[in-house]
């Protein structure tokens, strides 16, 4: 859930939403911006702190029938260390371990998606100082396919003013 962008958009669009993050402090910080966002359609939005998305019992908080859309925005492996909390995916170890941990999140998520529901994964690739590129997004998609998801599309977000490989925008 991070800073709460998805729940703010839920309120703007009139969709009910549930936000989960392992970092309770992040959730507290997000709460005021979510609460101060107007709610013209009367959407219900809820936040759950301290939830590890791999193991959090989603069925306890998801309404019967499941959800139509899951938006996952995990760390991009270790490019930003989020908090050092145990279970934080940015501190998980190797890239293989990270992809496997994401697989656990996907499996947990698929259990509460309603038939015909969708999962959107927002993720970036990374590269090392030596110039090696790690296709984190493709590896994650492959892992999602192994969970039984089918791929609908890949949307490439083109940032300007963000530095990529060799300082290129």
Ligand X SMILES: C[S@@+](CC[C@H](N)C(=O)[O-])C[C@H]1O[C@@H](n2cnc3c(N)ncnc32)[C@H](O)[C@@H]1O
Choose, by CB under 6 A, the member of 89, 136, 140, 144 that binds ligand X: 89
The DSSP H or E segment spanning 10 is helix 5-13
Q: Does 48 bind ligand X (CB under 6 A)?
A: no
Helical spans, DSSP H, in 54-94? none
- Between residues 113 and 116, which has the closer beta carbon with respect to ligand X? 113
Stretch that binds ligand X, among 34-42, 61-69, 83-91, 160-168 (CB under 6 A): 83-91
Q: Does 83 bind ligand X (CB under 6 A)?
A: yes
Q: Does 88 bind ligand X (CB under 6 A)?
A: yes
Q: Does 75 bind ligand X (CB under 6 A)?
A: yes
CA R_g for the chain: 17
| DSSP for residue 21 | E
The Cα 117–Cα 107 span in angstroms is 14
Q: How far is the CB of 115 from ligand X (least distance, A)?
A: 25
Of 91-150, which residues contact ligand X (CB under 6 A)? none
Backbone angles phi, psi at 78, to 5 degrees: -110, 20
Of 110, 141, 105, residue with least CA distance to 124: 141
* Contacting positions for ligand X (CB under 6 A): 2-3, 5, 20-23, 26, 51-54, 73-75, 82-83, 87-90
């Amino acid at each position: 859930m991070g800073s709460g962008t998805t729940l703010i958009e839920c309120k703007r669009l009139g969709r009910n939403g549930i936000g989960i993050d392992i970092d309770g402090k992040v959730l507290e910080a997000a709460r005021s911006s979510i609460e101060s966002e107007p709610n013209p359609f009367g959407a219900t939005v809820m936040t759950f702190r301290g939830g590890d998305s791999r193991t959090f019992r989603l069925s306890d908080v998801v309404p019967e029938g499941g959800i139509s859309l899951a938006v996952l925005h995990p760390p991009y492996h270790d490019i930003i260390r989020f908090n050092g909390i145990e279970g934080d995916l940015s501190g998980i170890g190797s890239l293989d371990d990270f992809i496997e941990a994401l697989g656990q999140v996907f499996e947990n998520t698929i259990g509460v998606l309603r038939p015909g529901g969708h999962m959107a994964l927002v993720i970036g690739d990374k590269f090392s100082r030596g110039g090696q590129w790690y296709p984190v997004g493709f590896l994650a998609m492959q892992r999602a396919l192994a969970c039984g998801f089918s791929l609908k599309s890949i949307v490439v977000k083109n940032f300007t003013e963000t530095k990529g490989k060799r300082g290129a925008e």
